[in-house]
A = this chain, B = another copy of it.
Amino acid sequence: MAVIVQKYGGTSVGALDRIANVARRVAARKDQGNDMVVVVSAMAGETDRLINMAKEITPIPNEREMDVLVSTGEQVTIALLAITLQSMGYKAKSYCAWQLPLATDAAFGAARVTDIDTQKISEDLSNGAIVIIAGFQGVDENGDITTLGRGGSDTSAVAVAAGLKADLCEIFTDVDGVYSTDPNIVPEAKKISSIAYEEMLEMASLGAKVLYIRAVEFAMRHKVPLIVRSSFNDNEGTLVTEESSDMEKESVRAVTCSSKEAKITFSGIPDVPGTASQLFLALAESNVVVDMIIQNSSEEGKTDISFTVPSADLEKGLEICQGVREILGAEKLTGSKDMAKVSIIGLGMRSHTGVASRMFAALAREGINIEMISTSEIKISCVIKKKYAELAVRVLHDVFELEKPL
Compute how far the CA of A86 lies from the CA of B59 in the bound complex, rounded to whole angstroms: 12
In the complex the two chains form, is B58's CB within 8 Å of A80's CB? no
Interface segment out of the listed A61-69, A152-160, A330-338: A61-69
Find out whether the CB atom of B68 lies under 8 angstroms from the CB atom of A78: yes
Check A65–B53 contact: CB distance below 8 A: no
Interface 1/0s, chain A 84-112, versus B by CB < 8 A? 10110000111010110000000000000
A92: chain B residues within 8 A (beta carbon): 65
Given A72-B76, A94-B65, A83 contacting B99 (CB threshold 8 A): no
- Give Cα distance in the complex from A56 to B19, angstroms: 12
> When chains A and B are docked, how far (Å) is the Cα of A93 from the Cα of B223?
39
Cα separation A58 to B84 with both chains bound (whole Å): 8
Given A72-B72, A143-B99; A65-B50 close (CB under 8 Å) = no
A57 interface hit (Cβ, 8 Å): yes
A76 and B50 within 8 A (CB): yes
Q: State in angstroms the CA–CA spacing of A219 and B267 once bound together.
A: 74
The copy count of this chain in the complex is 2
Q: Which residues of B contact A54 (CB under 8 A)?
A: 79-80, 83
Contact at B72–A86, with CB atoms within 8 Å?
no
Cα distance A54–B66 in the bound complex, in angstroms: 26
CA distance A87 to B54 in the complex (A): 10
A227 to chain B, nearest CB (A): 28
Measured CB to CB, the closest approach of chain B to A57, in angstroms, equals 5
Partner of A57, one of B56, B75, B80, B143: B80
Across the interface, name the chain B residue whose C-beta is closest to A20.
Answer: B57
Interface assignment of A82: CB less than 8 Å from any CB of chain B = yes
CB-CB < 8 A to A276: which residues of B?
Answer: none
A370 touches B (CB below 8 Å): no
Contacting residues, chain B, for A175 (C-beta < 8 A): none
Cβ-closest chain B residue relative to A55: B83
Contact A83-B65, Cβ < 8 Å, known A16-B53, A72-B72, A76-B50: yes
Contact digits for A18-44, partner B, Cβ 8 Å, 1 yes 0 no: 011000000000000000000000000
Contacts A56-B16, A57-B16, A80-B57; is A86 near B62 (CB within 8 Å)? yes
CB-based contact B62/A83 at 8 Å: yes
Assess the B62–A80 pair: CB atoms within 8 A: no
Known contacts A16-B56, A58-B86: A75-B68 contact under CB 8 Å: yes
- Closest chain B residue to A86 by CB distance? B62
Residues of B within 8 A of A62 (CB): 82-83, 86
Given A57-B16, A57-B87, A58-B87, A69:B79 Cβ within 8 A: yes
Q: A72-B72, A143-B99 are in contact. Are A79 and B66 (CB under 8 A)?
A: yes
Q: A227 vs B126: C-alpha distance in the bound complex, in angstroms?
A: 51
CB nearest to A82 among chain B residues? B65
On whether the beta carbons of B58 and A69 are closer than 8 Å, the reply is no
A120 to B105, CA, bound (A): 20
In whole Å, how far is A128's beta carbon from the nearest beta carbon of chain B? 16
**Residues on the B chain within 8 Å of A82, using CB:** 62, 65, 68
Q: Roughly how many angstroms separate A83 CA and B57 CA in the complex, as a whole number?
A: 7
User: Of all chain B residues, which has the CB nearest A54?
Assistant: B83
- Chain B residues with Cβ below 8 Å from A86 are 58, 61-62, 65
Q: How far is the CB of A218 from chain B (nearest CB, A)?
A: 25
- Give Cα distance in the complex from A84 to B16, angstroms: 32
Assess whether A94 is in contact with B68, with CB atoms less than 8 Å apart: yes
* Residues of A near any B CB (own CB < 8 A): 16, 19-20, 50, 53-54, 56-58, 61-62, 64-66, 68-69, 71-72, 75-76, 78-80, 82-84, 86-87, 92-94, 96, 98-99, 143-145
18 residue pairs bridging A and B, Cβ less than 8 Å apart: A16-B53, A16-B56, A19-B57, A53-B80, A54-B79, A54-B83, A58-B83, A58-B87, A61-B86, A64-B93, A65-B92, A68-B75, A68-B79, A68-B82, A68-B94, A69-B79, A72-B76, A75-B75
